[in-house]
Structure 1
Amino acid sequence: MTRADAAHSLTMRDLQSMLRVSRRVISGLVEAGFVMPARGPRNTLRFTFQDVVLLRTALQLRASSIAPRKIVQALARLRSELPDELPLSGIRVTAVGSEIAVRTGPSQWDAITGQHLLDFEVAEIKGDVVFLESSPATKDAARQAEEWYDLGGQLMSADLKGAEQAYRKAIALSNEPFYAAYVDLGALLCESEGRAEDALRVFDEALSHFPDDAVLHFNRAVALEGLDRLAQAERSYERCLELDPSYADAHHNLAMLLESLGDKQGLLRHLNAYRRLTS
C-alpha cells in the first residue's frame, strides 16, 4: 500500500458513521465539490481524515445558511492554506451572518478573500486537522473535554491513533479526573498490539483518582496479563472482586489465570461463582 493509499483509508460507510448522515448526503457533498476523494478497489470512493474535517465543516456551514458556492470556495482555500503545523493558539473557523472567516491567534481573515470570520476549533490529530464544534469564548474546560471525548468515540472505528490523542486531550483538559476517558483510553491501548504497558500506566493514573473502582482494577489486571505479570494480575482481579463480588468477568478471568498457575481449587471456586452469576 502506498502512502497515498494509506491516507485515503476511510470508506463511505466510515463517513456515514462518523458524520451521522446518510450516504445520499455525503454523495451530494462530493458531487458539489466539497471534497475530492480517491477511487479504491471496484471504483469505490476512499476518503482521508481531512475529508471528514471538510465535510463536517460543510455540513455545519450549510446549517448556518451559508451559500454552497461560498462554502466550496472557502473550503478550497482552507485546504490549500492550512499550515503543516498548527500554531499554539490553534485555528478557529466561524460563520458570521452570510460570511465565513478564519482566526489564527489574534488575527482573523476572510476564508474566501483573505480577510475575516466559522464555528469550529481546530486541533492537530495524526497530522491532519480536526474541527470541534465551538461555543463562545466562555466555553469551559469541561465542555471542551466532553467534545474531545466524543470525538475519540467517533474515531474508534477508523483512526485508533486519532482516538487515542482525543482521549488524552479530554483527560488533559478536564478540570476533574475524567473517568470514562481513562477507561476507554486504557481499553483501546489494551486491545492494541504491544501497548499493554501504556494501558497499565493509564489505569494506574486513573486508580490514583478512583482507588476503589472495580472496573479499573479489572482492566488493570487485563493489562498485567498482557505483560505476563501474572501474580500482580491475580492480585488486581482479587481486589476487583473485593470491591464487587458480583463482577462475573473478573471471576471468569481469574479462574482461567489460576488454572494456568496450577491452582485447581481456585479455578473451581471462581468458575462456579462465574456460572452462578451468569446462569
Structure 2
Amino acid sequence: MNSYCRKDVLRIFRIREQQLRIWERNGLIACADNYTFQDLGQLRKLRELGEHRISAGSIRNAVSAMRAVSGLADPLLQASLAVVPCGPRRLTFRHSGTVVDPIAGQYLLDFSGSGASALAPIAVATLSVREREQETVRLFAKAVYAEEAGHIDEALERYEDVLDLTPGHAPSAINMGTIFYNRRDFARAEQFYRMATESDGTYALAFFDLGNVLDELKRMPQAIVAYRRAITLQPHYADAHYNLALALERNGQRRSALRHWTSYLRLDGTGPWATHARTQLRKTLSVLGMELVQGQASRPRHASKARPAKEPTLLLVV
C-alpha cells in the first residue's frame, strides 16, 4: 500500500501540525509518521467536522458513545454524519436507516425531504459513496500486491478498475504511468502522469514523474517546468533537485544548475549519487570559470580613471 508522510497529510488537507496533534491526543487518529489511504478518509472526516466547528473533544465523546450504542468499531467511517444546528453543535450519526444522537441516547426525526430539516447534513459520504471508497481501497491494494508479485498485466487491469470506479485516482494513475515508463512506452506514461497532476495539483511525486518522462522524450524545457513544480511543492525533494540540475545542464543552463546541485548535496551528501553530483558541480564550475576568463580576456582595454567594475564572485561550499 502507498503511504503518506506527515508532511503530505498536512499539505493535502491544509491543516496545521497543532491540529493533527489535537486529534491524536483525543484518540481520533493514531499518532504516526506515515498514513494509509484509509487513514486519509478518517482525516478528511475530521477536517470537515472541524470546519463545522465541532471540537475534537465533542467528536471524541460522540464517537465513544456511538461505539457503545451501535457496536461500530469506527463510526466516523462506518456511519454517515450530521450536525444538529440548533443549540450546542453536536455530532449525530445516520445508521441502519435511523439518525442517532448517541450522547443524548435519542433517535432523531429527519425531515430533510420536506425542506424543514431538523438536521444539517455535512459534506460526507452517503452509504453508496462510502462503499465506493472502500472498493477503491480494496482494488488499489489488489493492484499493488499484483504489481509487487510481478503480475504486471493483472496490476494494470486492477488500476484501470480503480480509475473506472474513481476517475482521476492519482496514486493509480502514477503507478500505471510508472509501469508504462518501465516498458519505455513514454507516450502512455506521460498520459497517466498528466492525469495525476490534473487530479491533484499538490502531488509533488506526480510532477517529478512527469518531469522524468518528458526528459526521456527530449522535451527538456517542459521537463524543467515539471521538476520546478515538484520542488515548489516540496522544497526538500532531493531527487527533484538532482534531476532538475541534470535537465538544466542538458538545456545549456549551467549557472542555474549550480544551485540545484548544491541543494541536492545539502539534502543527501553521501552515497554514489552525491559523488556524481559533486563531480558535476566541479565540472560546471570549471566550465563557467573558463568562460569567465575568456570573457575578460576578450574585452578591449581603454585607459580610464573610472574604477573598473568587478565581476560577480560565485562562492560555493560543497
Normalization by structure 1: what TM-score? Answer: 0.47
In our comparison, the structure showing a higher alpha carbon Rg is 2
Normalization by structure 2: what TM-score? Answer: 0.41
